[in-house]
């Protein structure tokens, strides 16, 4: 049952006892002051993992929202408002709770503290289809170009809902891809080309010319190293595409560039947990992959060029799988992917002009786009 409220409906009131019962993966509620939120659907998406929310289910999370260790961004607060379902009935607070508070001498919030809490809540805003800058009942692809200078702010205020891009069902279907289609389409090619390259290099006919008179034989045993180098080259391409193409700033007066940006990447920032648009459709990816192949074939001998290409292609598959996992996976705390997930979520919700690395943060360092550590 969907308990989420529309802005025009009067809030429902819940007793403290009723809220405390919702403390499982199947039904998880939290409080922010006296506001009640059903965050069941957000458990898997939370960058800190499900356990962090479940441990606080049925309780007030105001301190966790403000930090430390992490102060949640305005976008995160706005996002949370999508799960608002009602208010806590203050008259229902158990007498036992009040007695315990008195025994422990826990002070009530002062007026100043209450004002600060109210101020923080008021910064949150619900997604309202009636007042939003676009008409969510219609496809968005041809609307966003008219937002002009408001586009950049609008597109970086994420929502938890699917986006319809095109009216035509065929075009719409071709913008969506299940995550498993990426390895199904590309890994057979990776395996085949790996075998082909190793066999080709085994013929010992591939030489890399340093000068017109001096060349080096590319041995078959060098294939694993060339393969890894190809993956490393892809990580650089991944950074460049994400930063300079996906995060270009289209001119406010250019309808077509705004539309292009939204189709390429803006829709992902607007709806970052739309599972059908977290990986590239193979038909579109083939254009970039084909260009990558042609460039390497022109620059290097066949055996070396294709070996680099297949490593890069494998790097792309790893990139798409990691990107999907960073949005929907629950990595173990303190693991590499746990850090990457937190880093990537910060990119979506708070630092859209930094943190462009997906599979690695390596390239963010030399290009000075590392997301800064939060201090208190």
Looking up tokens 């082909």 gives 196
Which positions make up the binding site?
46, 72, 242, 247, 265, 268-269, 323, 327, 344, 347-348
Closest by CA to 205, choosing from 280, 131, 303, is 303
Which regions of 157-312 does DSSP assign to beta strands (E)? 207-209, 215-217
Alpha carbon distance 362, 125 (integer Å):
35
Alpha carbon distance 148, 132 (integer Å):
15
CA dihedral over 162, 164, 168, 173, signed as positive or negative: negative
Alpha carbon distance 64, 60 (integer Å):
9
Which positions make up the binding site for heme?
46, 72
Which regions of 7-123 does DSSP assign to beta strands (E)? 12-14, 23-24, 27-32, 35-38, 84-88
Closest by CA to 374, choosing from 348, 353, 343, is 343
Local structure of 12: helix, strand or coil: strand
Looking up tokens 């790893």 gives 318
Which positions make up the binding site for Zn(2+)?
242, 247, 265, 268-269, 323, 327, 344, 347-348
Copy the structure tokens of residue 123.
């910064």
Looking up tokens 């193409």 gives 245
Copy the structure tokens of residue 71.
């102060």
């Amino acid at each position: 049952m969907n308990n989420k409220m529309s802005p025009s409906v009067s809030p429902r009131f819940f007793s403290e006892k009723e809220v405390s019962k919702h403390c499982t993966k199947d039904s998880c509620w939290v409080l922010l002051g006296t506001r009640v939120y059903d965050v069941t659907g957000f458990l898997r998406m939370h960058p800190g993992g499900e356990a962090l929310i479940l441990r606080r289910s049925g309780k007030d999370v105001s301190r966790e929202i403000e930090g430390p260790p992490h102060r949640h961004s305005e976008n995160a607060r706005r996002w949370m408002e999508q799960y608002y379902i009602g208010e806590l009935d203050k008259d229902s607070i158990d007498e036992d709770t009040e007695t315990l508070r008195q025994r422990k001498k826990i002070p009530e919030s002062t007026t100043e503290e209450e004002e600060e809490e109210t101020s923080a809540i008021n910064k949150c805003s619900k997604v309202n289809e009636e007042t939003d800058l676009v008409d969510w009942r219609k496809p968005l692809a041809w609307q966003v170009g008219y937002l002009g200078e408001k586009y950049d702010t609008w597109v970086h205020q994420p929502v938890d809902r699917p986006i319809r891009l095109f009216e035509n069902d065929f075009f719409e279907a071709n913008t969506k891809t299940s995550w498993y289609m990426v390895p199904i389409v590309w890994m057979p090619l990776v395996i085949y080309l790996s075998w082909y390259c190793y066999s080709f290099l085994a013929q010992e006919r591939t030489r890399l010319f340093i000068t017109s008179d001096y060349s080096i034989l590319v041995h078959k045993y060098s294939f694993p190293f060339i393969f890894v180098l190809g993956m490393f080259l892809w990580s650089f391409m991944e950074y460049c595409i994400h930063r300079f193409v996906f995060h270009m700033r289209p001119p406010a007066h250019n309808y077509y560039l705004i539309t292009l940006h939204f189709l390429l990447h803006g829709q992902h920032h607007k709806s970052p947990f739309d599972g059908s648009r977290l990986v590239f459709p193979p038909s579109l990816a083939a254009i970039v992959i084909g260009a990558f192949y042609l460039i390497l074939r022109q620059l290097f001998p066949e055996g070396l060029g294709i070996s680099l290409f297949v490593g890069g292609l494998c790097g792309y598959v790893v990139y798409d799988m990691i990107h999907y996992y960073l949005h929907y996976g629950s990595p173990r705390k303190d693991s590499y992917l746990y850090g990457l997930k937190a880093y990537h979520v910060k990119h979506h919700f708070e630092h859209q002009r930094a943190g462009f690395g997906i599979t690695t943060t390596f390239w963010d360092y030399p290009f000075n786009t590392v997301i800064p550590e939060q201090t208190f």
